Amino acid sequence: MGDLVFASLWAPGAVCAVSRESGELLWMRDLDSYASSSVFVHGGVLYATSVRTLYALDPKSGRTRWEFSPKRGSGEWIYSQPAVKAGRVFLGDRCGYLHCLEAKSGKLIWRRQSSRDRNNQVNSTAVIAGGRVITANNQGAVICYSVETGKTLWRQQVDAACISELLRLRTNVVVAAKSLYCIDLKTGAVRSRFTFPKHIVTSVAVLGKRVGFVLGTDFEVEPSAWNNPLAFNGELFILEQGREKARQALNGTPHIRFDSETGVIYAVNHSKMVMIDSSDASTVESHPGEFALPDVSDGNFYALSRNGELSSRPVTTS
């Protein structure tokens, strides 16, 4: 944001701001527990989460404007990220609820229980489309609520837990479970489903008009695969209009993020960061080391390493 770069530090749990030009540390704010994997700015507010609390911070000082915890105690209650739009903040929790908060104050407007199933944790990050907010839980329930009232507009069932961010692709919501789903935003009808025997979808990104996703081994179906080192490798697929456009074999099963300005897919795992051309899935560049997913802005990408080093370098275009 402007001259500032923000980073979320998992352990012991903190958020910091550095100068975009010099890298000088400007402020650091301790959180009440382990920090989540990302932070973002919306409407002049810096949103950050620990596993217990959602924080709305002043970006320039780190001062708390408000905070929200779905439950008291020392447990871990938040594995999702907030979604923000039109003055409202939506956050899922591990007790099975989606919370709708007032963005200005953090005051609870409404909350809804996703299902009454035993493992109903809402660990996915919601997507907002017009007056609808869609979330999903660990029982594979995908639910659409009215942003204004919290009324349930539709429900759909997928074939496994959904713990990834839900994504919008034109008039569809993209849901990663064991299979990959495109679900109609208005009706909840499944428009397409892509199933891969003995594999599961581990990460997904919308690439403009395309969808990119990583497949990994389904160890529940193939428990003996734990003894095969090659089973821990994955494969990147790129789909366009429901058809395979390109693919690439991967070392490990990385998480992916797409930069629309350059057309590059960033894939990170426990050993390296790989930049991949989204048009043909070819490798553009790679960097050894363990990184968090990077962010890209104004011709530079910003990456945080396992040892807490934040670095910046010019982007590579595909």
* Tokens coding 7: 């980073």
Q: Tell which of 60, 77, 94 closes a domain.
A: 77
Is pTM beyond 0.85 here?
yes
- Is residue 57 assigned to a domain? yes
- Residue 166, classified by CB atoms within 10 Å of its CB into exposed (0-12), middle (13-18) or buried (19+), is buried
* Tokens coding 269: 């795992």
Compute how many other C-beta atoms are within 10 angstroms of the C-beta atom of residue 200. 23
- Is residue 267 assigned to a domain? no
Same domain, 86 and 149: yes
> What is the chain's pLDDT, residue by residue, as a tens digit (318 residues)?
999 999 999 998 999 999 999 999 999 999 999 999 889 999 999 999 999 999 999 999 999 999 999 998 888 999 999 999 989 999 999 999 999 999 999 999 999 999 998 899 999 999 999 999 999 999 999 999 999 999 999 999 999 999 999 999 999 999 999 999 999 999 999 999 999 999 999 999 999 999 999 999 999 999 999 999 999 999 999 999 889 999 999 999 999 999 998 899 999 988 899 999 999 999 999 989 999 999 988 888 899 998 889 999 888 765
- When divided into structural domains, the chain yields a total of 2
Give the gyration radius of the chain's Cα atoms.
19
* Tokens coding 248: 């690439």
Helix (H), strand (E), coil (C) string for 210-231: EEEEEEEECCCCCHHHHHCHHH
Q: Tell which of 49, 77, 105 closes a domain.
A: 77
Same domain, 64 and 90: no
Q: Tell which of 77, 109, 141 closes a domain.
A: 77
- Is residue 188 assigned to a domain? yes
Question: The domain containing residue 72 runs over which residues?
Answer: 1-77
Determine phi and psi for 226, rounding to 5 degrees. -60, -25
CATH number at residue 18: 2.40.128.630
Sequential DSSP letters for 36-64: -S--EEETTEEEEEBSS-EEEE-TTT--E
Q: Identity (one letter) of the amino acid at 227?
A: N
**Cβ neighbours of residue 22 closer than 8 Å, sequence gap 6 or more:** none
CA-CA distance, 250 to 308, in Å (whole number)?
Answer: 25
Same domain, 140 and 51: no
- Is residue 60 assigned to a domain? yes
Q: Where are the alpha helices (DSSP H) in 116-220?
A: none
